[in-house]
Amino acid sequence: MASEMTGILRLYRRQDAVFRAVTFLSAAIVVVVLAGMIVFLVHGALPALAAMGPSFFWTSDWDTVEDVYGALAPITGTLITATIAMVIGIPVSFGIAMFLTEICPVFLRRPIGTAIELLAGIPSVVFGIWGLFYLTPVLQEYVQPALIDTLGPLPIIGALFQGPPFGIGILDGGIVLAIMVLPYITSITRDVFMTVPPLLRESAYGMGCTTTEVVTKIVIPYCRVGLIGGVMLGLGRALGETMAVTFVIGNTYQISASLLAPGTTISAAIANEFNEAFEEQHLSALIALGLVLFLITFAVLALAKWMLLAIDKREGRR
């Protein structure tokens, strides 16, 4: 009887060990994927980086015939479109989050919140074709001429709004990205706003603060770190977004002071050229672009994650 019991226990222990090992291996796959990605990108990028040297990062000639590759145009394109997306996306997202947490009647909160989240479900290629066929003509006919007329003559910032209104270009890409990151930043901002203890909020209202004052002086300072984390997460998305931008960016390797000019981004360049790249150096240069994108987004996302963890810790969550 006793030996039968220990036999069963031994069997159980063996089964448990197998189960644990299987789950561990599955978790290890996650780590292996990231490691594999790094190895592939670094290995693939080496020929181009070796041939071009550090000038890969600060020259802007991208010539597949001469085999000269400078990544400055796509890198600046990526950074500028993401910046535009943030300049437009952050205030709008914060506005929506404030509406959802402070102003909106309770029975409308869920439906409106869900509607905004549905924007996140729309695939990037659909944003692309909508942007190209609907947003771009509106920008070209109304918005860009108005910008050229009003802001164009101003000193310094006027330089951003020069040239003919092409429609497609850096500004177009930035606006499409802003719409795309909106649901991400909004939903994190709303969740972070919700972490403010009701006691704090009510005390402020009790002192006679207006809603604006409660949000700007109590809510936002209380969850500063979480807000920055949410914004960085949105930024990570904007930096790496591919298809929507490829539709509306214009895909030309040029750096222009004007936001109205066509340009390119890292991801758009890869999406456009990778299938047609047969020369080893050209392929390698595109993979090197991918490596740059990886490094930028990894840094941004890691920082975002770290900041959001800080908020979770304070909340007592894991």
Q: How far apart are CA 75 and CA 165, in angstroms?
A: 23
Cα dist from 181 to 91, 174, 191, 250, 288, whole Å: 12, 10, 16, 21, 26
Question: Per CB under 8 A, does 30 bind other proteins?
Answer: yes
Residue ranges in 252-311 that form contacts with other proteins under rule CB under 8 A: 267, 270-271, 274-275, 287, 290, 293-294, 297-298, 301-302, 305
How far apart are CB 135 and other proteins at their closest, in Å? Answer: 9
User: Can you tell me which of 68, 76, 99, 147 binds other proteins, judged by CB under 8 A?
Assistant: 99
Question: Per CB under 8 A, does 121 bind other proteins?
Answer: yes
How far apart are CB 100 and other proteins at their closest, in Å? Answer: 7
Q: How far apart are CA 224 and CA 94, in angstroms?
A: 12
Contacts of 280 (CB under 8 A, 6+ apart): 47
Residue ranges in 201-220 that form contacts with other proteins under rule CB under 8 A: 210-213, 215
CA atoms within 13 A on the CB side of 42: 7
Across-strand partners of 250? Answer: 263
Part in contact with other proteins (CB under 8 A); list of ranges 157-165, 189-197, 222-230, 235-243: 235-243
How far apart are CB 157 and other proteins at their closest, in Å? Answer: 22
Part in contact with other proteins (CB under 8 A); list of ranges 40-48, 153-161, 164-172, 193-201: 40-48
Which CB, 113 or 152, lies closer to other proteins?
113
Size of the site for other proteins (CB under 8 A): 89
Q: How far apart are CA 219 and CA 108, in angstroms?
A: 21
Residue ranges in 136-175 that form contacts with other proteins under rule CB under 8 A: none
Part in contact with other proteins (CB under 8 A); list of ranges 16-24, 69-77, 139-147, 152-160: 16-24
Nearest 5°: the CA angle 44, 49, 53 is 175
Query: Which is nearest to 73 in space by CA: 239, 297, 231, 252?
Result: 252
Which CB, 261 or 291, lies closer to other proteins?
291
